[in-house]
Structure 1
Amino acid sequence: MNILKKLSFVFLGLLLTSFGIKLLSLSLLTFGGTAGIATIISYLNEGSWGIWFFLVNLPFFIISIQQLGKWFTISSLLSITAISFIRDLLDIWIPTFEINMFTASIISGLLIGIGVTLVLNNGSSLGGIHILGLFFENKLGINRGLVIFICDSLIILAAISIVGWSKALFSVLTIVIASSLIGRYKRSPIKEMEQDKVSELKNEVQA
Protein backbone atom coordinates (compact mmCIF):
# COMPACT_ATOMS: atom_id res chain seq x y z
CA MET A 1 0.00 0.00 0.00
CA ASN A 2 1.56 3.30 -1.03
CA ILE A 3 2.01 6.23 1.33
CA LEU A 4 -0.69 8.40 -0.29
CA LYS A 5 -3.30 5.68 0.13
CA LYS A 6 -2.35 5.24 3.78
CA LEU A 7 -2.51 8.97 4.40
CA SER A 8 -5.96 9.10 2.77
CA PHE A 9 -7.26 6.36 5.07
CA VAL A 10 -5.74 8.06 8.12
CA PHE A 11 -7.36 11.38 7.19
CA LEU A 12 -10.73 9.67 6.66
CA GLY A 13 -10.33 8.00 10.05
CA LEU A 14 -9.61 11.37 11.67
CA LEU A 15 -12.72 12.90 10.11
CA LEU A 16 -14.99 10.05 11.23
CA THR A 17 -13.56 10.09 14.76
CA SER A 18 -13.95 13.88 14.99
CA PHE A 19 -17.61 13.66 13.94
CA GLY A 20 -18.20 10.91 16.49
CA ILE A 21 -16.70 12.93 19.34
CA LYS A 22 -18.62 16.04 18.25
CA LEU A 23 -21.86 14.05 18.27
CA LEU A 24 -21.16 12.87 21.82
CA SER A 25 -20.64 16.43 23.01
CA LEU A 26 -24.08 17.46 21.72
CA SER A 27 -25.67 15.14 24.30
CA LEU A 28 -23.04 15.87 26.98
CA LEU A 29 -21.77 12.32 26.64
CA THR A 30 -18.11 11.48 26.88
CA PHE A 31 -15.65 8.86 25.73
CA GLY A 32 -12.74 7.04 27.28
CA GLY A 33 -9.02 7.58 26.92
CA THR A 34 -7.42 10.94 26.38
CA ALA A 35 -10.40 11.99 24.24
CA GLY A 36 -12.64 11.43 27.25
CA ILE A 37 -10.30 13.31 29.54
CA ALA A 38 -10.21 16.24 27.12
CA THR A 39 -14.01 16.16 26.83
CA ILE A 40 -14.49 16.23 30.60
CA ILE A 41 -12.05 19.12 31.03
CA SER A 42 -13.79 21.05 28.25
CA TYR A 43 -17.16 20.49 30.00
CA LEU A 44 -15.71 21.92 33.21
CA ASN A 45 -14.12 25.06 31.80
CA GLU A 46 -15.70 25.35 28.32
CA GLY A 47 -12.24 25.55 26.79
CA SER A 48 -11.01 24.21 23.47
CA TRP A 49 -11.30 20.43 23.20
CA GLY A 50 -8.46 20.34 20.70
CA ILE A 51 -5.97 22.11 22.95
CA TRP A 52 -6.75 19.90 25.94
CA PHE A 53 -6.58 16.74 23.82
CA PHE A 54 -3.15 17.73 22.50
CA LEU A 55 -1.79 18.54 25.98
CA VAL A 56 -3.16 15.39 27.64
CA ASN A 57 -1.50 13.21 25.00
CA LEU A 58 2.01 14.63 25.29
CA PRO A 59 3.21 12.37 28.18
CA PHE A 60 2.30 9.21 26.25
CA PHE A 61 4.80 10.05 23.54
CA ILE A 62 7.61 9.15 25.92
CA ILE A 63 6.36 5.55 25.79
CA SER A 64 5.80 5.72 22.06
CA ILE A 65 9.21 7.01 21.02
CA GLN A 66 11.01 4.55 23.32
CA GLN A 67 8.96 1.45 22.57
CA LEU A 68 7.12 1.90 19.27
CA GLY A 69 9.63 3.76 17.14
CA LYS A 70 10.40 7.25 15.89
CA TRP A 71 8.31 7.19 12.71
CA PHE A 72 5.23 5.78 14.41
CA THR A 73 5.53 8.47 17.09
CA ILE A 74 5.85 11.25 14.51
CA SER A 75 2.85 9.89 12.60
CA SER A 76 0.78 9.76 15.80
CA LEU A 77 1.78 13.29 16.75
CA LEU A 78 0.66 14.54 13.35
CA SER A 79 -2.65 12.68 13.69
CA ILE A 80 -3.29 14.15 17.13
CA THR A 81 -2.51 17.65 15.88
CA ALA A 82 -4.83 17.14 12.90
CA ILE A 83 -7.77 15.76 14.90
CA SER A 84 -7.41 18.55 17.47
CA PHE A 85 -7.72 21.08 14.66
CA ILE A 86 -10.57 19.25 12.88
CA ARG A 87 -12.59 18.78 16.07
CA ASP A 88 -12.37 22.47 16.99
CA LEU A 89 -13.40 23.43 13.45
CA LEU A 90 -16.52 21.27 13.81
CA ASP A 91 -17.59 23.41 16.78
CA ILE A 92 -17.59 26.36 14.41
CA TRP A 93 -19.09 24.66 11.35
CA ILE A 94 -21.77 22.47 12.94
CA PRO A 95 -24.49 24.28 14.91
CA THR A 96 -25.76 22.83 18.19
CA PHE A 97 -28.82 20.60 17.81
CA GLU A 98 -30.67 18.13 20.01
CA ILE A 99 -30.17 14.40 19.55
CA ASN A 100 -31.40 11.43 21.55
CA MET A 101 -28.65 10.05 23.83
CA PHE A 102 -29.19 6.47 22.69
CA THR A 103 -28.94 7.46 19.03
CA ALA A 104 -25.89 9.61 19.70
CA SER A 105 -24.12 6.81 21.57
CA ILE A 106 -24.77 4.22 18.81
CA ILE A 107 -23.76 6.44 15.88
CA SER A 108 -20.75 7.82 17.74
CA GLY A 109 -19.56 4.34 18.65
CA LEU A 110 -19.70 3.27 15.00
CA LEU A 111 -17.99 6.44 13.74
CA ILE A 112 -15.22 6.35 16.35
CA GLY A 113 -14.70 2.59 16.02
CA ILE A 114 -14.35 2.75 12.23
CA GLY A 115 -12.32 5.96 12.38
CA VAL A 116 -9.82 4.76 14.96
CA THR A 117 -9.45 1.41 13.17
CA LEU A 118 -8.56 3.21 9.93
CA VAL A 119 -5.98 5.32 11.75
CA LEU A 120 -4.42 2.39 13.63
CA ASN A 121 -4.37 0.05 10.64
CA ASN A 122 -2.49 2.56 8.53
CA GLY A 123 0.54 3.17 10.70
CA SER A 124 -0.65 5.88 13.07
CA SER A 125 -2.62 6.32 16.30
CA LEU A 126 -4.56 8.90 18.26
CA GLY A 127 -2.14 8.81 21.15
CA GLY A 128 -2.80 8.09 24.79
CA ILE A 129 -4.63 4.84 25.41
CA HIS A 130 -4.17 3.75 21.79
CA ILE A 131 -0.40 3.98 22.16
CA LEU A 132 -0.68 2.08 25.44
CA GLY A 133 -2.87 -0.55 23.75
CA LEU A 134 -0.38 -1.02 20.92
CA PHE A 135 2.45 -1.28 23.44
CA PHE A 136 0.71 -4.09 25.38
CA GLU A 137 -0.28 -5.85 22.16
CA ASN A 138 3.23 -5.85 20.71
CA LYS A 139 5.04 -6.63 23.97
CA LEU A 140 2.59 -8.97 25.76
CA GLY A 141 0.23 -10.13 23.00
CA ILE A 142 -2.82 -8.62 24.74
CA ASN A 143 -5.56 -7.54 22.31
CA ARG A 144 -5.44 -3.75 22.08
CA GLY A 145 -9.23 -3.57 21.88
CA LEU A 146 -9.43 -5.15 25.34
CA VAL A 147 -6.80 -2.80 26.77
CA ILE A 148 -8.59 0.23 25.36
CA PHE A 149 -11.97 -0.98 26.65
CA ILE A 150 -10.69 -1.49 30.22
CA CYS A 151 -8.92 1.87 30.36
CA ASP A 152 -11.88 3.68 28.82
CA SER A 153 -14.33 2.14 31.26
CA LEU A 154 -12.23 3.22 34.23
CA ILE A 155 -12.13 6.77 32.91
CA ILE A 156 -15.92 6.77 32.42
CA LEU A 157 -16.40 5.61 36.00
CA ALA A 158 -14.26 8.51 37.18
CA ALA A 159 -16.45 10.89 35.14
CA ILE A 160 -19.75 9.80 36.70
CA SER A 161 -19.70 12.66 39.20
CA ILE A 162 -19.48 15.14 36.30
CA VAL A 163 -21.84 13.76 33.63
CA GLY A 164 -24.12 11.65 35.84
CA TRP A 165 -25.01 7.95 35.80
CA SER A 166 -27.33 7.95 32.79
CA LYS A 167 -24.86 9.78 30.54
CA ALA A 168 -22.04 7.58 31.82
CA LEU A 169 -23.96 4.42 30.91
CA PHE A 170 -24.68 5.68 27.40
CA SER A 171 -21.01 6.64 27.11
CA VAL A 172 -20.00 3.08 28.06
CA LEU A 173 -22.29 1.81 25.27
CA THR A 174 -20.33 3.98 22.84
CA ILE A 175 -17.07 2.55 24.16
CA VAL A 176 -18.30 -1.05 23.83
CA ILE A 177 -19.26 -0.51 20.18
CA ALA A 178 -16.06 1.34 19.28
CA SER A 179 -13.76 -1.10 21.14
CA SER A 180 -15.46 -4.11 19.53
CA LEU A 181 -14.80 -2.71 16.06
CA ILE A 182 -11.22 -1.79 16.90
CA GLY A 183 -10.49 -5.21 18.39
CA ARG A 184 -12.14 -7.16 15.56
CA TYR A 185 -10.69 -5.39 12.56
CA LYS A 186 -7.28 -4.52 13.93
CA ARG A 187 -3.98 -5.05 12.22
CA SER A 188 -0.60 -4.32 13.72
CA PRO A 189 0.76 -1.13 12.16
CA ILE A 190 4.12 -1.72 13.79
CA LYS A 191 4.51 -5.14 12.18
CA GLU A 192 3.29 -3.81 8.82
CA MET A 193 5.85 -1.03 8.94
CA GLU A 194 8.56 -3.59 9.69
CA GLN A 195 7.37 -5.75 6.78
CA ASP A 196 7.42 -2.71 4.49
CA LYS A 197 11.03 -2.04 5.45
CA VAL A 198 11.97 -5.66 4.74
CA SER A 199 10.27 -5.48 1.35
CA GLU A 200 12.10 -2.26 0.51
CA LEU A 201 15.43 -3.84 1.43
CA LYS A 202 14.68 -6.88 -0.74
CA ASN A 203 13.78 -4.65 -3.66
CA GLU A 204 17.02 -2.73 -3.24
CA VAL A 205 19.05 -5.95 -3.20
CA GLN A 206 17.28 -7.30 -6.27
CA ALA A 207 17.82 -4.00 -8.10
Structure 2
Amino acid sequence: MADVDVPTSHATIRHRPFEDAVALAVGALLVSLGVNLYNRAGLLTGGTAGLAFLIHYVFGWAFGPVYFAINAPFQYFAFRRMSRQFRIKTFCAMVLVSGFSMLHPRFIHYDRLDAFYAAALGSSVMATGFVVLFRHRASLGGVNIVALFLQEKHGIRAGKVQMSVDLSIVAASLFVVSPRVLAASLLGALALNLVVALNHRPGRYVGM
Protein backbone atom coordinates (compact mmCIF):
# COMPACT_ATOMS: atom_id res chain seq x y z
CA MET A 1 0.00 0.00 0.00
CA ALA A 2 1.22 3.48 -0.79
CA ASP A 3 2.38 5.76 1.97
CA VAL A 4 -0.22 8.15 3.37
CA ASP A 5 0.77 11.74 2.73
CA VAL A 6 -1.10 15.03 2.61
CA PRO A 7 -1.21 16.41 -0.96
CA THR A 8 1.13 19.33 -1.42
CA SER A 9 0.54 22.53 -3.34
CA HIS A 10 2.44 25.64 -4.26
CA ALA A 11 1.07 27.28 -1.09
CA THR A 12 2.27 24.47 1.14
CA ILE A 13 5.02 25.49 3.52
CA ARG A 14 7.34 22.66 4.47
CA HIS A 15 8.70 22.53 7.99
CA ARG A 16 12.46 22.58 8.28
CA PRO A 17 14.18 19.80 10.28
CA PHE A 18 14.91 22.24 13.11
CA GLU A 19 11.25 23.27 13.27
CA ASP A 20 10.16 19.64 13.39
CA ALA A 21 12.65 18.88 16.16
CA VAL A 22 11.44 21.80 18.28
CA ALA A 23 7.81 20.85 17.68
CA LEU A 24 8.42 17.24 18.72
CA ALA A 25 10.15 18.35 21.92
CA VAL A 26 7.51 20.94 22.82
CA GLY A 27 4.57 18.70 21.90
CA ALA A 28 5.96 15.79 23.90
CA LEU A 29 6.74 18.07 26.86
CA LEU A 30 3.17 19.39 26.93
CA VAL A 31 1.61 15.94 26.64
CA SER A 32 3.84 14.52 29.36
CA LEU A 33 2.98 17.46 31.64
CA GLY A 34 -0.70 16.70 31.19
CA VAL A 35 0.05 13.05 31.94
CA ASN A 36 1.81 14.11 35.13
CA LEU A 37 -1.24 16.10 36.24
CA TYR A 38 -3.49 13.14 35.52
CA ASN A 39 -1.19 10.77 37.35
CA ARG A 40 -0.99 12.90 40.49
CA ALA A 41 -4.79 13.28 40.59
CA GLY A 42 -5.36 9.56 39.95
CA LEU A 43 -7.26 10.27 36.73
CA LEU A 44 -7.71 8.07 33.69
CA THR A 45 -7.69 8.87 30.02
CA GLY A 46 -8.27 6.98 26.80
CA GLY A 47 -6.10 5.30 24.20
CA THR A 48 -2.87 3.54 25.00
CA ALA A 49 -2.14 6.13 27.70
CA GLY A 50 -5.35 5.07 29.43
CA LEU A 51 -4.29 1.44 29.37
CA ALA A 52 -0.88 2.44 30.71
CA PHE A 53 -2.55 4.34 33.56
CA LEU A 54 -4.67 1.30 34.44
CA ILE A 55 -1.60 -0.93 34.64
CA HIS A 56 0.25 1.75 36.60
CA TYR A 57 -2.55 2.10 39.16
CA VAL A 58 -3.19 -1.63 39.54
CA PHE A 59 0.38 -2.96 39.56
CA GLY A 60 2.39 0.14 40.51
CA TRP A 61 4.64 -0.10 37.47
CA ALA A 62 6.17 3.13 36.14
CA PHE A 63 3.99 4.83 33.54
CA GLY A 64 6.76 5.68 31.05
CA PRO A 65 8.05 2.16 30.27
CA VAL A 66 4.52 0.68 30.31
CA TYR A 67 3.28 3.35 27.90
CA PHE A 68 6.15 2.69 25.51
CA ALA A 69 5.61 -1.09 25.62
CA ILE A 70 1.88 -0.82 24.91
CA ASN A 71 2.53 1.40 21.91
CA ALA A 72 5.09 -0.93 20.36
CA PRO A 73 2.56 -3.14 18.48
CA PHE A 74 1.00 -0.09 16.83
CA GLN A 75 4.31 0.67 15.20
CA TYR A 76 3.63 -2.27 12.89
CA PHE A 77 0.48 -0.54 11.66
CA ALA A 78 2.45 2.66 11.17
CA PHE A 79 5.12 0.76 9.24
CA ARG A 80 2.52 -0.67 6.84
CA ARG A 81 0.21 2.32 6.48
CA MET A 82 2.03 5.57 7.15
CA SER A 83 4.96 7.36 5.55
CA ARG A 84 8.55 6.85 6.67
CA GLN A 85 8.75 10.44 7.93
CA PHE A 86 5.63 9.96 10.03
CA ARG A 87 6.95 6.72 11.52
CA ILE A 88 10.27 8.28 12.54
CA LYS A 89 8.66 11.35 14.09
CA THR A 90 6.07 9.28 15.94
CA PHE A 91 8.72 6.98 17.39
CA CYS A 92 10.76 9.98 18.57
CA ALA A 93 7.67 11.57 20.14
CA MET A 94 6.82 8.35 21.98
CA VAL A 95 10.34 8.12 23.40
CA LEU A 96 10.24 11.77 24.48
CA VAL A 97 6.87 11.45 26.22
CA SER A 98 8.00 8.30 28.03
CA GLY A 99 11.18 10.03 29.16
CA PHE A 100 9.57 13.35 30.13
CA SER A 101 6.86 11.52 32.11
CA MET A 102 9.59 10.13 34.38
CA LEU A 103 11.36 13.49 34.57
CA HIS A 104 8.45 15.70 35.73
CA PRO A 105 8.05 14.11 39.19
CA ARG A 106 11.64 15.08 39.97
CA PHE A 107 10.88 18.78 39.50
CA ILE A 108 7.15 19.19 40.20
CA HIS A 109 5.48 18.44 43.54
CA TYR A 110 1.85 19.00 44.51
CA ASP A 111 0.51 19.59 48.01
CA ARG A 112 -3.08 19.41 46.75
CA LEU A 113 -4.54 18.83 43.30
CA ASP A 114 -8.28 18.73 42.68
CA ALA A 115 -9.38 16.02 40.26
CA PHE A 116 -11.63 18.28 38.15
CA TYR A 117 -9.03 21.02 37.94
CA ALA A 118 -6.38 18.48 36.95
CA ALA A 119 -8.74 17.07 34.31
CA ALA A 120 -9.47 20.50 32.79
CA LEU A 121 -5.88 21.72 32.83
CA GLY A 122 -4.26 18.39 32.00
CA SER A 123 -6.56 17.70 29.05
CA SER A 124 -6.01 21.20 27.66
CA VAL A 125 -2.25 20.85 27.91
CA MET A 126 -2.27 17.38 26.35
CA ALA A 127 -4.58 18.47 23.52
CA THR A 128 -2.30 21.38 22.69
CA GLY A 129 0.64 18.98 22.58
CA PHE A 130 -1.29 16.63 20.30
CA VAL A 131 -2.13 19.43 17.87
CA VAL A 132 1.52 20.52 17.76
CA LEU A 133 2.58 16.97 16.97
CA PHE A 134 -0.18 16.40 14.41
CA ARG A 135 0.70 19.57 12.54
CA HIS A 136 4.28 18.39 12.20
CA ARG A 137 3.29 14.99 10.83
CA ALA A 138 3.71 13.06 14.06
CA SER A 139 1.56 11.42 16.70
CA LEU A 140 2.06 9.40 19.88
CA GLY A 141 1.34 6.01 18.40
CA GLY A 142 -1.55 3.80 19.37
CA VAL A 143 -5.01 5.12 18.59
CA ASN A 144 -3.52 8.37 17.26
CA ILE A 145 -1.95 6.51 14.33
CA VAL A 146 -5.25 4.89 13.41
CA ALA A 147 -7.17 8.15 13.87
CA LEU A 148 -4.82 10.12 11.63
CA PHE A 149 -4.86 7.37 9.00
CA LEU A 150 -8.67 7.39 8.89
CA GLN A 151 -8.73 11.19 8.66
CA GLU A 152 -6.22 11.42 5.82
CA LYS A 153 -7.48 8.37 3.91
CA HIS A 154 -11.22 8.54 4.47
CA GLY A 155 -11.89 12.08 5.78
CA ILE A 156 -13.09 10.89 9.20
CA ARG A 157 -12.17 13.53 11.78
CA ALA A 158 -9.31 12.36 14.00
CA GLY A 159 -10.86 14.02 17.05
CA LYS A 160 -14.10 12.05 16.66
CA VAL A 161 -12.29 8.73 16.34
CA GLN A 162 -10.12 9.51 19.35
CA MET A 163 -13.12 10.64 21.39
CA SER A 164 -15.06 7.42 20.75
CA VAL A 165 -12.16 5.22 21.82
CA ASP A 166 -11.25 7.39 24.81
CA LEU A 167 -14.75 7.45 26.25
CA SER A 168 -15.03 3.68 25.90
CA ILE A 169 -11.77 3.05 27.76
CA VAL A 170 -12.51 5.54 30.53
CA ALA A 171 -16.01 4.11 31.05
CA ALA A 172 -14.54 0.59 31.29
CA SER A 173 -12.29 1.78 34.12
CA LEU A 174 -15.08 2.19 36.67
CA PHE A 175 -13.79 -0.71 38.77
CA VAL A 176 -10.44 1.04 39.30
CA VAL A 177 -11.41 4.57 40.37
CA SER A 178 -14.12 6.28 42.39
CA PRO A 179 -17.22 7.74 40.68
CA ARG A 180 -15.90 11.27 41.27
CA VAL A 181 -12.56 10.52 39.67
CA LEU A 182 -14.32 8.76 36.79
CA ALA A 183 -16.54 11.82 36.26
CA ALA A 184 -13.48 14.07 36.18
CA SER A 185 -11.77 11.66 33.76
CA LEU A 186 -14.78 11.72 31.43
CA LEU A 187 -14.78 15.51 31.54
CA GLY A 188 -11.09 15.51 30.66
CA ALA A 189 -11.63 13.11 27.75
CA LEU A 190 -14.37 15.32 26.32
CA ALA A 191 -12.29 18.48 26.71
CA LEU A 192 -9.17 16.94 25.20
CA ASN A 193 -10.86 15.60 22.11
CA LEU A 194 -12.96 18.73 21.64
CA VAL A 195 -9.81 20.85 21.51
CA VAL A 196 -8.22 18.45 19.02
CA ALA A 197 -11.36 18.30 16.87
CA LEU A 198 -11.67 22.09 16.74
CA ASN A 199 -8.01 22.75 15.98
CA HIS A 200 -6.99 19.89 13.71
CA ARG A 201 -9.15 19.60 10.59
CA PRO A 202 -8.24 18.35 7.11
CA GLY A 203 -7.10 21.19 4.87
CA ARG A 204 -7.06 23.84 7.58
CA TYR A 205 -3.31 23.67 8.19
CA VAL A 206 -1.01 23.12 5.19
CA GLY A 207 2.41 23.02 6.85
CA MET A 208 4.33 19.81 6.10
- Give yes or no for the alignment of 1:26 onto 2:18: no
- Is the CA contact (8 Å cut-off) linking 1:22 and 1:91 kept in structure 2? yes
Following TM superposition, by how much is the alpha carbon of 1:93 offset from its aligned partner in structure 2, in angstroms?
2.4
Say if 2:55 is the partner of 1:41: yes
Aligned to 2:9: none
Deviates more, 1:88-97 or 1:149-158: 88-97
* Bigger share in helix: 1
Stretch of structure 1 that moved more, 145-154 or 74-83: 74-83
Aligned partner of 1:68 in structure 2 is 82
Where 2:136 maps in the other structure, the secondary structure is coil
2:10 maps to which residue?
A: none
Question: Normalising by the residue count of structure 1, what TM-score does the alignment of the two structures yield?
Answer: 0.87
Map residues 61-100 of structure 1 onto 2, 5 A cutoff: 61-100=75-114
Sequence identity (%): 24
Tell me the SS of whatever aligns to 2:175: helix
Cα deviation, 1:28-58, whole Å, max 9, x if unaligned, reads: 1111111111111111111110100000001
Q: Report matched runs for 1:1-207 at 5 Å.
A: 1-186=15-200
Tell me: higher relative CO, structure 1 or 2? Use CA pairs within 8 A at least 6 residues apart: 2
Number of equivalences = 193
Query: Which blocks of at least 5 consecutive residues in structure 2 are unaligned?
Result: 1-14
TM-score by length of 2: 0.87
* Aligned-pair Cα RMSD in Å: 1.8
Equivalent residues of 1:121, 1:188 under 8 A apart: no
CA offsets, 1:102-153, max 9 Å, x none?
A: 1111101110110111011111111101001011112221100000000001
Gaps of 5+ in 1: 197-207
Write the distance in 2 (CA, Å) between the matches of 1:188 and 1:16: 23
Aligned to 2:132, the other structure's residue is in SS state: helix
Matched AA of 1:56: I
